[in-house]
């Protein structure tokens, strides 16, 4: 992730559309759609978003049913798996 401003809280970091899409495991067009629908607020710079707004908007979109839950999507790799042999 590219940090465009320093000495700020993590939620205030500006991220691009591409970085937001990679963070949420969705396409760039879907990020733009969520922004148009009001789930993700755009930042002051065109094409950039505050990290906190992306996280909060994603949670709200999942809660409202606009997005499926991350574990129900097939496009994100598993970040942790544990095999138990019995």
Q: Which CATH class is domain 10-72?
A: mainly alpha
Residue 78: alpha-carbon gap to chain centroid: 16
Average pLDDT over all residues of the chain = 82
Distance between alpha carbon 25 and the CA centroid of its chain, in Å?
7
Q: How many CB atoms lie within 10 A of CB 31?
A: 25
Where are the chain's structural domains?
10-72
Name which of 21-30, 33-42, 75-84 the model is least confident about: 75-84
56-79 pLDDT, tens digit per residue, is 999 999 899 888 877 777 665 556
Instruction: Give the predicted TM-score (pTM) of the model.
Output: 0.71
């Amino acid at each position: 992730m590219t940090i465009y401003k320093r000495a700020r809280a993590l939620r205030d970091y500006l991220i691009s559309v591409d970085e937001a899409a990679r963070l949420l495991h969705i396409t760039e067009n879907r990020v733009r759609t969520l922004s148009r629908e009001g789930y993700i607020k755009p930042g002051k710079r065109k094409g950039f978003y505050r990290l906190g707004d992306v996280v909060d908007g994603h949670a709200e979109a999942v809660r409202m049913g606009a997005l499926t839950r991350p574990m129900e999507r097939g496009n994100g790799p598993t970040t942790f798996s544990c095999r138990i042999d019995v």
